[in-house]
Amino acid sequence: MDFTLTEEQRLLVETIREFVRRELKPLEEGVETSGYLADEVASEIQEKSRGLGLYAINIPREFGGGGLSVLEWMMAEEQFGRTSDILIRRAFGNVYEILLEASEKQKQTYLLPAVRGERTFSIAFTEPEAGSDAAAIKTKAERSGKGWILNGAKHFISDGLFSDFFVVTAVTDPATGARGISTFIVEKGMTGFTVGRDQPMMGLRGTSHVEMQFKDVVLSNDHLLGHEGQGLKLALATLGRVRLAQVVARSIGKATLVMDQCLDYARERRQFGAPIGDFQMVQQMLADSAMEINATRLALWHTASRLDAGEEVRGSISMMKVQAAEMMGRVVDRAVQIFGGAGYCRDLPIERYYRDARIYRIYDGTSEIHRAVLAKQMMRGDSSVYDIYG
């Protein structure tokens, strides 16, 4: 197993890292202060990203995307993690692979425009009573003539104010439990569909997280994504890759950025006549962070390689989600300690990283849920998550 980077992979990493440094870093403080990114600025950075071939890189080339392998996609997402969530969404796109299940007509209407950056969408799975338990949703779609009538509510839907359509899970056959969930494409502006308030968050400034209500929304069969009853399967498959990309890889990128800043500060900040990096307790924090970042990255590369080989990695994704989210939490916590009072002050970005990191242990399934998924898989006899020899 060789994880030596090819020249093309190195160029990908360097190109994204330089783009983030040059185009996105200067925008971060403004977004943090105002909680807003102007549409004209978003359009400008998207155009520059598309010019470099960095938009929708997770989508196959046949649909206009970057066509990267899963491993290469994770390398790219790690670099995305070096900037703010809203800037990642606008610069590099937020095109979920669930649209690959679309019909030919749906691909023309939704997928291809999304890959071109002409349309933006979000996935709307989470409900007030169904967070980590995706099968517990209450939103329903009932048959009506040649279509469906949608009723229910969602919340914490990321980018809901900006997106113009949504992939929504709904119960279509209550009698069959999880097998009775389907996915639908719902357009903003449909009669009965209301995007509610933007729910204020501790971090992730600039990204909206909205409530949504559906009251007798009329959908045609053309709005059904995939086959009836396939919704939970599609949702879980989508969330698995989202967890690897948007939680695991970006956690590593953010932690690496924080590590760089800790090292610079440890070299420059002097106390008792010496750089604080000379103090043994500071050295321990730096070393612990470096070991955790490196271990998490290598584990991610291994999981991504297994996905590229077509293997089933659900347990590994749960393991990676917990490992990466909690690793980043410890790295940014140590960073606050290393920076001291300056790390707690809003004049430096360390305070922002600390707030942003906290949600990673909650969204896309809490750490507790993923530990349970992992343990159950092992109890059923799957040792591959900890024993690669089988």
- What are the residues whose beta carbons fall under 8 Å from the beta carbon of 226, sequence distance 6 or more? 101, 102, 182, 183, 234
pLDDT of residue 178: 79
30 against 385, higher pLDDT: 30
Regarding whether 346 and 244 lie in a shared domain, the answer is yes
Model pLDDT for residues 228-240, shown as the tens digit of each residue? 999 989 988 888 8
CB 170 within 8 A of CB 139: yes
pLDDT of residue 140: 96
Q: Is residue 107 part of a domain?
A: no
Confidence of residue 295 (pLDDT cuts 50, 70, 90): very high
Structure token pair of residue 246: 């948007």
Over residues 354-371, the mean pLDDT reads: 94
CB 352 within 8 A of CB 203: yes
Query: What dihedral angle (degrees, nearest 10) is formed by the CA atoms of 86, 92, 96, 97?
Result: -160
pLDDT of residue 136: 83
Regarding whether 346 and 274 lie in a shared domain, the answer is yes
Regarding whether 351 and 240 lie in a shared domain, the answer is yes
Regarding whether 327 and 209 lie in a shared domain, the answer is no
365 against 151, higher pLDDT: 151
Model pLDDT for residues 173-214, shown as the tens digit of each residue? 998 887 899 999 999 999 999 999 999 999 999 999 999 999
Q: Is residue 292 part of a domain?
A: yes
Over residues 374-390, the mean pLDDT reads: 87
Regarding whether 267 and 140 lie in a shared domain, the answer is no
pLDDT of residue 145: 86
Rounded to whole angstroms, the Cα distance separating 328 from 19 reads 23
Could you tell me the pTM of the whole model?
Answer: 0.94
- Whether 113 shows a pLDDT value over 90: the answer reads yes
- What are the residues whose beta carbons fall under 8 Å from the beta carbon of 262, sequence distance 6 or more? 285, 286, 289, 334, 335, 338, 339
Regarding whether 340 and 253 lie in a shared domain, the answer is yes
CATH code of the domain in which 348 resides:
1.20.140.10
pLDDT of residue 360: 95
CATH code of the domain in which 58 resides:
1.10.540.10
Cα 140 from chain centroid?
A: 26
Q: What letters, b where the CB count within 10 A reaches 16 and e where it falls short, cover 166-182?
A: bbbbbbbbeeeeeebbb
At 336, the amino acid letter reads V
CB 3 within 8 A of CB 301: yes
Cα 54 from chain centroid?
A: 16
Regarding whether 218 and 240 lie in a shared domain, the answer is no
At 342, the amino acid letter reads A
Q: Is residue 104 part of a domain?
A: no
CB 87 within 8 A of CB 28: yes
Regarding whether 200 and 329 lie in a shared domain, the answer is no
- Cα–Cα distances in Å, from 362 out to 82, 150, 243? 20, 28, 11
CB 148 within 8 A of CB 200: no
Regarding whether 42 and 169 lie in a shared domain, the answer is no
- Whether 390 shows a pLDDT value over 70: the answer reads no
At 307, the amino acid letter reads L
178 against 54, higher pLDDT: 54
- What are the residues whose beta carbons fall under 8 Å from the beta carbon of 60, sequence distance 6 or more? 67, 100
Regarding whether 193 and 146 lie in a shared domain, the answer is yes
Beta bridge partners of 21: none
Q: Which domain, by its residues, includes 12?
A: 7-97
pLDDT of residue 101: 94
Rounded to whole angstroms, the Cα distance separating 300 from 195 reads 36
* Least confidently predicted of 114-123, 258-267, 311-320: 311-320
Domain's final residue, options 38, 65, 97: 97
Model pLDDT for residues 265-283, shown as the tens digit of each residue? 999 999 999 999 999 999 9
**Mean pLDDT, rounded, of the chain:** 94
Q: Is residue 102 part of a domain?
A: no
pLDDT of residue 330: 98
- Whether 367 shows a pLDDT value over 80: the answer reads yes
Please count the structural domains in the chain. Answer: 3
Over residues 19-34, the mean pLDDT reads: 97
Model pLDDT for residues 303-342, shown as the tens digit of each residue? 999 999 999 898 999 999 999 999 999 999 999 999 999 9
Which ranges of the chain does DSSP label H, i.e. alpha helix? 7-19, 25-34, 39-51, 70-80, 85-92, 104-106, 112-115, 231-242, 250-268, 280-308, 314-339, 341-344, 350-358, 367-379
| DSSP for 45-67, written as a single string | HHHHHHHTT-TTTTS-GGGTS--
Q: Is residue 315 part of a domain?
A: yes
- Whether 132 shows a pLDDT value over 90: the answer reads no
CATH code of the domain in which 128 resides:
2.40.110.10
- Whether 61 shows a pLDDT value over 90: the answer reads yes
Regarding whether 172 and 129 lie in a shared domain, the answer is yes
CB neighbourhood size of 51 (10 A): 9
- Whether 3 shows a pLDDT value over 90: the answer reads no
- Whether 302 shows a pLDDT value over 80: the answer reads yes
Three-class SS of 9-28: HHHHHHHHHHHHHHHHHHHH
Q: Give the 3-state secondary structure of residue 354.
A: helix
Regarding whether 216 and 244 lie in a shared domain, the answer is no
Least Cα distance to 359 among 131, 241, 204 occurs for 204
